[in-house]
Chains A and B, each alone.
Chain A
Amino acid sequence: MFLTYLRRELRRRMRQATFISLGLALGIGLVITVTAASSGVKDAQTTVLHALYGTGTDITVTKSPTAGSGAPGAFGFRGQAGTGSAPAAGTTINIDTLRALGLGTISSSSVTKVSGLSGVAAAAGGLTLTDTKITGTVSASSSGGGFGGTGGGGAGGSLTPTSFSVDGVDIGTGELGPLSTGKLTSGRTFTSADSSSDVAVVDSNYATQNKLSVGSTVTIAKASFKVIGIVSEPSDENNSDVYIPLARAQALASMKNDVNTIYVSATSAANVNTVSKEISAAVPSATVTNSSDLANEVTGSLSSTSSLANNLGKWLAVAVLVAAFLLASLLTMSAVSRRVREFGTLKALGWRSRRITLQVLGESVVVGIIGGAAGVLLGLAGAGIVDAIAPPLSASVGTTTGSATPGGARQFGAGGGAGGTGGAGGGGFRQATANATHTVAVHLTAPVTVSAILLAVALAIAGGLIAGSFGGWRAARLRPATALAKVT
């Protein structure tokens, strides 16, 4: 009788039941879509943080460069510090230097000190460097100036500056540091035997652009390195182009016993903040950054989307859901009002209030479940639409925020120095790197999880129960004589 009565009643109130179901479906669909989008944003943030940070790395330690510490040598001719004297016309220029830009140096002993701290599982030093090549011939018209860096005027003519990023990798701790996010696509990665060899692992994009393959040679600071492997990194914009053993990077950059990034892995995620504080104490002048700091510094469309999903989306979903619940409750109570005679009659026949309440509750829960099922479909469709039309998002971490983000000198603005007819050459790279931001492009997906669907079903049933409770409460309160007197 319960099911027959329920089915017939819902059929009689088909339009109203559909209306309530659609309201609930809309609310639940929004909850699923927003939950999926939030989950997608979270995944994207994880991707970004991994790309900026390296898988397995919990904390990075860097130092801001001190004023005037650009790098030794800057852009003198023949590999020496600039003297300010003008090169003669027709002079062939071939400069190839490897320098640390945008990050201050940290003593290698700090790596040992950090790795010895409690709560630290492993620590690895790294050198983030830039190889800059300037080649060409000085023309007569431009021979009046110096060239970049430490002084003089500008140098003109057919000089071609190129640069690429180089990471010195601590081979002993390969699971940490800049190579940890990469996937080897060909060749091999470093082994302990490579620690002082001139061998390099090259980023797949850089390899494609420069037609490099395993066995090719890449020149760094005038030294030839044999390519032993090609790696593919998850993000395109923040990778180093070439990875070489740390010892070789230190030698070529004249930074023996120095690193500019320490990658730290904590023994547990819960320890990260404590370990960060310990490192700050152990290496006082360093900037210690962990994933939550980095997440806070992420700006760009990913950050905007995150705010949108967490604030507007969440509250919109809640508002629609509350409105749907209210609508369902009001319509259910209105339906009960129209059935006063029916319930009065049933009470006169001896039906208990509880049974009548259950009948109303059952009807509402079925409507809620139908709304929930439709809401899941709507939510899946919404998530599908987010997947299909969401534009690629970008996340940026700027060095201007004050922290020296790991890999801080990987991306460059316009190179300074090499142009112009005399004068105005100096300081270009420094300025560019100081303002550099590290941008990672990610595609936003909206994965619908089982837990989101279960949440939707629970919400649907809750919606039905809330609406049914109001209706049932009203039905239960009816006194049969009053109910019958209203119509007889």
Chain B
Amino acid sequence: MYKLTGVTKDYPKNRGTVAALRGVDAVIEDGDWLAIQGPTGHGKSTLLQIVGGLDRPTAGIVDFRGQDLAQLRETQLTRVRASFIGFVFQTFNLIPTLSAQENVETALVPLGIGAAERRAGAGRALEDVGLADGAAHLPSELSGGQQQRVALARALVKEPKVLLADEPTGNLDEDTRDEIMVLLEKSWRERGLTMIVVTHDSTVARRAQRIGVMKHGRLTVK
């Protein structure tokens, strides 16, 4: 699924640069669940953004399904994100003016799916995460756990190949964290997803097949 070769990422800072990734090499197979841990500021989220096509590396190859994401044009990257990659964020990132149902539908809009089909798909996705009753609610009317369920439904509704989660339980209490992890694990198992989860939480990381540690921009996969 993914083959990362010498991936580096430098950010400009003042008059110099800061290296966020320093030659990351990794292979992530189809259906892998990789948890990435590490101290804050050592490149975990940067790596996630690069494998998600949200950012480009300064150097190196990010081979995804046979194409180098680093070389794709913006429109091609957008298409890759729309079709193959689902994202879950720590802060849920729901659109505040749209209902839970409509938030889930936003993931289907770039695929050109008709309104009726979108509604049906979003309904099913919400049902899968146990939030069928909350479909009409705005995010502000939902708890943190419910909002993360909506975000998960939004990530999964388009049936992606990859699910990238950046601290998906970072803003949740332990009980809710466990509920979300159960859902993530279930999705991974049932859908055959490739899943990369960045987390500080060792309880979360321990559920993964493999654990990688990012330190000073280098990834070590155990």
Measured CB to CB, the nearest residue on chain A to B80 is A350
A353 to B107, CA, bound (A): 15
Q: Which of A5, A355, A488 contacts B91 (CB 8 A)?
A: A488
Asked if A5 meets B89 with Cβ closer than 8 Å, knowing A347-B78, A350-B79, A350-B82, the reply is no
Q: Which of A1, A341, A348, A351 contacts B115 (CB 8 A)?
A: A1
A221 at interface, CB cutoff 8 A: no
A12 to B91, CA, bound (A): 20
Measured CB to CB, the nearest residue on chain B to A341 is B93
| Residue total for A at the interface (Cβ-Cβ under 8 A) | 27
Task: Please report which residues of chain B, range 136-193, place their CB below 8 angstroms from some CB of chain A when the two chains form the complex.
Answer: 154, 166-167
Cβ of A350 and Cβ of B81 under 8 Å apart?
Answer: yes
Asked if A5 meets B54 with Cβ closer than 8 Å, knowing A349-B81, A484-B49, the reply is no
A352 at interface, CB cutoff 8 A: yes
Cβ of B93 and Cβ of A352 under 8 Å apart?
Answer: no
Cβ of A349 and Cβ of B54 under 8 Å apart?
Answer: no
A480 to B110, CA, bound (A): 15
A345 at interface, CB cutoff 8 A: yes
Cβ of B91 and Cβ of A1 under 8 Å apart?
Answer: no
Q: How far is the CB of B176 from chain A (nearest CB, A)?
A: 19
B75 at interface, CB cutoff 8 A: yes
Measured CB to CB, the nearest residue on chain A to B105 is A1
Q: How far is the CB of A362 from chain B (nearest CB, A)?
A: 14
Asked if A352 meets B97 with Cβ closer than 8 Å, knowing A484-B54, A488-B89, the reply is no
Cβ of A349 and Cβ of B49 under 8 Å apart?
Answer: no
Task: Please report which residues of chain A, range 306-346, place their CB below 8 angstroms from some CB of chain B when the two chains form the complex.
Answer: 341-342, 344-346
Q: Which of A5, A349, A355 contacts B87 (CB 8 A)?
A: A349
A5 to B115, CA, bound (A): 13
A91 to B111, CA, bound (A): 112
Task: Please report which residues of chain A, range 1-26, place their CB below 8 angstroms from some CB of chain B when the two chains form the complex.
Answer: 1, 4-5, 8-9, 11-12
Task: Please report which residues of chain A, range 460-488, place their CB below 8 angstroms from some CB of chain B when the two chains form the complex.
Answer: 479-481, 484-485, 487-488
Cβ of B102 and Cβ of A1 under 8 Å apart?
Answer: yes
Q: How far is the CB of B112 from chain A (nearest CB, A)?
A: 11
Q: How far is the CB of B209 from chain A (nearest CB, A)?
A: 25
Measured CB to CB, the nearest residue on chain B to A4 is B102
A348 to B118, CA, bound (A): 18
Cβ of A4 and Cβ of B91 under 8 Å apart?
Answer: no
Cβ of A487 and Cβ of B110 under 8 Å apart?
Answer: no
A481 to B47, CA, bound (A): 11
Q: How far is the CB of A83 from chain B (nearest CB, A)?
A: 101
Q: Which of B89, B98, B109 contacts A351 (CB 8 A)?
A: B109
Q: Which residues of A contact B167 (CB under 8 A)?
A: 488
Asked if A488 meets B45 with Cβ closer than 8 Å, knowing A350-B110, A352-B75, A355-B110, the reply is yes
A246 to B111, CA, bound (A): 88
Q: How far is the CB of A478 from chain B (nearest CB, A)?
A: 11
Q: How far is the CB of A242 from chain B (nearest CB, A)?
A: 78
Q: How far is the CB of B159 from chain A (nearest CB, A)?
A: 13
A479 to B109, CA, bound (A): 20
Q: Which residues of A contact B87 (CB under 8 A)?
A: 345, 348-349
Cβ of B83 and Cβ of A350 under 8 Å apart?
Answer: yes
Q: Which residues of A contact B89 (CB under 8 A)?
A: 345, 484, 488
Additional 10 contacts, C-beta under 8 A, given A1-B109, A342-B93: A1-B118, A4-B98, A341-B93, A342-B96, A348-B93, A351-B82, A351-B106, A352-B110, A484-B89, A487-B91
* Chain A to chain B contacts (Cβ below 8 Å), 7 pairs: A342-B93, A347-B78, A350-B81, A351-B109, A355-B109, A484-B49, A488-B45
Partner-A contacts on B (CB < 8 A): 45, 49, 52, 54-55, 74-75, 78-79, 81-83, 87, 89-91, 93-98, 102, 105-107, 109-111, 115, 118, 154, 166-167
Q: Which 6 A-B pairs have the closest CB atoms?
A: A350-B82, A8-B97, A481-B55, A350-B110, A345-B93, A481-B54
